[in-house]
Amino acid sequence: DQQVKQNSPSLSVQEGRISILNCDYTNSMFDYFLWYKKYPAEGPTFLISISSIKDKNEDGRFTVFLNKSAKHLSLHIVPSQPGDSAVYFCAADGNNYQLIWGAGTKLIIKP
Amino acid sequence: DAGITQSPRYKITETGRQVTLMCHQTWSHSYMFWYRQDLGHGLRLIYYSAAADITDKGEVPDGYVVSRSKTENFPLTLESATRSQTSVYFCASSAQVYEQYFGPGTRLTVT
C-alpha cells in the first residue's frame, strides 16, 4: 500500500515554462513533506520542504503547495531550466524517523 | 573530503556471499540511514541509526545487518546475498532526521 504516490512517471516541459510535479498521500497524520531531486549516478539532494501548518513554501524558482483537504502537494518550478532535468521525489514523515517516499517523476526540460 | 561517501560504487557478487557496503560521513551527523532503490519504487528504508550504538529496522530489513560503533561510519552487511538484493543502495546522514544528505550510491548486482 503506497502511502505516497507520484502518479506521473515522467513529465516533459519546454525550457522557460512552468513545471508542476504532483504528489498525493493517504495518511492524514503526515505533517512534514519534502522534495528531493536526483541526477543519474548521484544520490538525491534535498530541495524544499513544507510543514502541514503552511500551505505554501517558496525558495527561489521552487514553490511547494500543500492542500491538506485533498492530501495533495505539488512542486512548481518557474522558469524551468535545462539543469532542472532530473528525477524528483516527494517524501513524507512517517513513524520512527522514517521518510515515506514516492516512486519519483522524471522531469525532462526541452530546449 | 567533507561530505558523505560510499564504497564500493559498484559491486558484483555471487548468491550466498557476504557483502559489506561502507558509508562514511564527516559532518558528525547523529542520524544515518540505509536505503535501497528499485525500479518503480521510491527509496525504501533498510535500517537507520539515531546515534552510535543505536540502530533500528526500517521497512525492508530482512537479510541485512548494520552496526554503528563510530558516529561517522555506518556499514551495511548482506549476510548471504540473494538475487532479490540486486539494487542501488544509498546511505544518508542527517542532523535533524528529515533533511537528509545522501551518498552517491552503490550499485550491487548479485548473480
Taking only the tens of pLDDT, chain A with its 111 residues reads 679 999 999 999 999 999 999 999 999 889 899 999 999 989 999 999 999 999 999 999 999 999 999 999 999 999 999 999 999 999 998 776 788 999 999 999 999
Q: In terms of residue numbers, what domain contains B2?
A: 1-38
Q: What was the pLDDT predicted at A8?
A: 94
Separation between Cα atoms, residue A103 and residue A7, nearest integer Å: 8
Residue B18 within a domain:
yes
End-to-end CA gap in chain A = 38
C-alpha cell at B26: 564527516
Task: Report if residue B28 sits inside a domain.
Answer: yes
Backbone angles phi, psi at B79, to 5 degrees: -70, -40
CATH number of the domain where residue A78 is located: 2.60.40.10
Q: Which of B51, B55, B1, B43 is nearest to B24 (CA)?
A: B1
Contact assignment for B45 to A98 by CB distance below 8 Å: yes
Number of domains in chain A: 1
What strand order describes the sheet that includes B19-25? B4-7, B19-25, B76-78, B64-66
> What would the pLDDT profile of B19-58 be if each residue is shown by its tens digit?
999 999 999 999 999 999 998 778 999 999 999 999 999 9
Domain that holds residue A25: 4-110
Question: Which residues in chain A have Cβ-Cβ distances shorter than 8 Å to B104?
Answer: 41-43
Domain assignment present for residue B6? The answer is yes
Q: Is residue B101, in this structure, part of any structural domain at all?
A: no
A45: nearest CB among B45, B50, B102: B102
pLDDT at B41: 78
Cβ A57 vs Cβ A47: under 8 Å: no
Contact status, residue A44 vs residue A36, Cβ threshold 8 Å: yes
In this complex, the residue of B33, B42, B50 whose CB is nearest that of residue A103 is: B42
Query: What percent helix, strand, coil does chain B show, rounded to 5?
Result: 5, 50, 45
